[in-house]
Structure 1
Amino acid sequence: MKALVLSSGGADSTVCVALAVEKLGRENVATVSFEYGQKHDKELICAQKIADFYSLKHFVLSLENILKFSDCSLLKNSTQAIEHKSYADQIAEKGEGKVSTYVPFRNGLMLSSAAALAQSIYPEEDCEIWIGAHADDAAGQAYADCSSEFTQAMD
């Protein structure tokens, strides 16, 4: 069994990397990160450092071309500023639903792309795809693609 872990370099995905390595051994784990037009590259740098720490093969895929039409505040091409408020504050002000930093179907795109990558790099082996979506991000539908319902549907 192989594992391909979606790695943003943040706490949630780093825990997934550590758990995959513990469960399957480093020789059976690879990580993947995504360039999606984000305003910062810190997450890509951190994801590479995590892969290096565990001596894992690391892939970087681009979703920039797909997301270039979005005006999400997290993206370089956006006309919006990032709101530096908690999701709870944003939802209290505007009601439930997507927050300004929601990147359209980002987790869906990442999971689909990871599935294609897994079939490409492990054509003859079973491969699990691991994602560490933070449950608080799904609260109030701030990031609907972080909900357990979304993950189950993608599974």
Structure 2
Amino acid sequence: MKKAVVVLSGGLDSTVCMSVAKQDGYKIFPITFSYGQRHSREVEQAKKVAEFYRCNKHLILDIGFFREIGASALTSYNIDVPTDRSVEQMQEDIPVTYVPFRNAVFLSMAVGYAEAIQAEKIYIGVNALDYSGYPDCRPRFIQAFQEAVNLGTAASDKNMPIKIATPLISLTKGEIIKVGVKNGAPLHLTTSCYLGGEKACGKCDSCRLRLKGFREAGIQDPIEYEIKD
């Protein structure tokens, strides 16, 4: 069976992305990163998602140096996570929840893993339409990274190129949720909250965008919230 590596955070987008890889007929090899984020909840949820899909191997890598790098509200307790912001406010600038060049690091490790297991594709749930403003989620970044993969891997030299798949990149959050429901993705196991509590806060940018997406999709969000507007 053909193989695919899936970058799995335990969040909504990466879980739906994993469901797409499954629907595409791949044997899934998820890779999850403990990168020095504020909480471990997303890693724990990623484990549950991998178990749901009965993955034979779930690679979890500890790359906590992002906490040492800092400069992000997701890795530094010295920077507050924004709350109660409107979509318009989220669009004003690159948010403080951006982790410097994180997706490049994730993709680099995923490519190495794909080469090692002879996987032909890497799925990553980046999205350019959810107002996050993260520069490493833009289509042109993925295109540039794909070129680097083509130039820098033995797989390409052997005419077995590794393709980076971004099936959610141009979808709205509501459309992503509909894809997940259609594919039977375990949305009840996902977490999106930047604060990582037992219940989602409902106030951070990620929670607000998730709730907005479920409203647009006309579907009930299966996770619990402290506050739900």
TM-score, scaled to structure 2:
0.57
Shift of 1:62: 2.3
Larger strand fraction of residues? 1
In the other structure, the counterpart of 2:108 is 112
Larger helix fraction of residues? 1
Matches of 2:15 and 2:70, distance apart in 1 = 27
Tell me, yes or no, if the aligned pair for 1:3 and 1:130 is still in contact at 8 Å: yes
In the other structure, the counterpart of 2:96 is 100
Matches of 1:133 and 1:17, distance apart in 2 = 12
Matches of 1:88 and 1:36, distance apart in 2 = 29
Instruction: Tell whether 2:142 aligns with 1:151.
Output: yes
Shift of 1:80: 0.9
Aligned-pair RMSD on alpha carbons?
Answer: 1.9
Letter in structure 2 aligned against 1:2? K
Q: Matched residues, percent identical?
A: 35
In the other structure, the counterpart of 1:12 is 13
* Bigger Cα Rg: 2
Matches of 1:86 and 1:146, distance apart in 2 = 21
Letter in structure 2 aligned against 1:73? A
Letter in structure 2 aligned against 1:153? A
In the other structure, the counterpart of 2:120 is 127
**Gapped runs of 5+ residues in structure 1?**
none
Matches of 2:119 and 2:41, distance apart in 1 = 31
Tell me, yes or no, if the aligned pair for 1:71 and 1:79 is still in contact at 8 Å: no
Letter in structure 2 aligned against 1:51? A
Matches of 2:51 and 2:139, distance apart in 1 = 30
Letter in structure 2 aligned against 1:46? Q
Shift of 1:10: 1.4
Letter in structure 2 aligned against 1:143? Y
TM-score, scaled to structure 1:
0.82
**Gapped runs of 5+ residues in structure 2?**
147-229
| Deviating more after overlay: 141-150 vs 41-50 | 141-150
Shift of 1:67: 4.8
1:51-66 alignment runs, 5 A limit? 51-56=50-55, 57-66=57-66
Letter in structure 2 aligned against 1:69? I
In the other structure, the counterpart of 2:192 is none
1:8-87 alignment runs, 5 A limit? 8-25=9-26, 28-56=27-55, 57-75=57-75, 77-84=76-83, 85-86=85-86
* SS at 2:78 equivalent: coil
| Deviating more after overlay: 32-41 vs 81-90 | 81-90
Shift of 1:91: 3.9
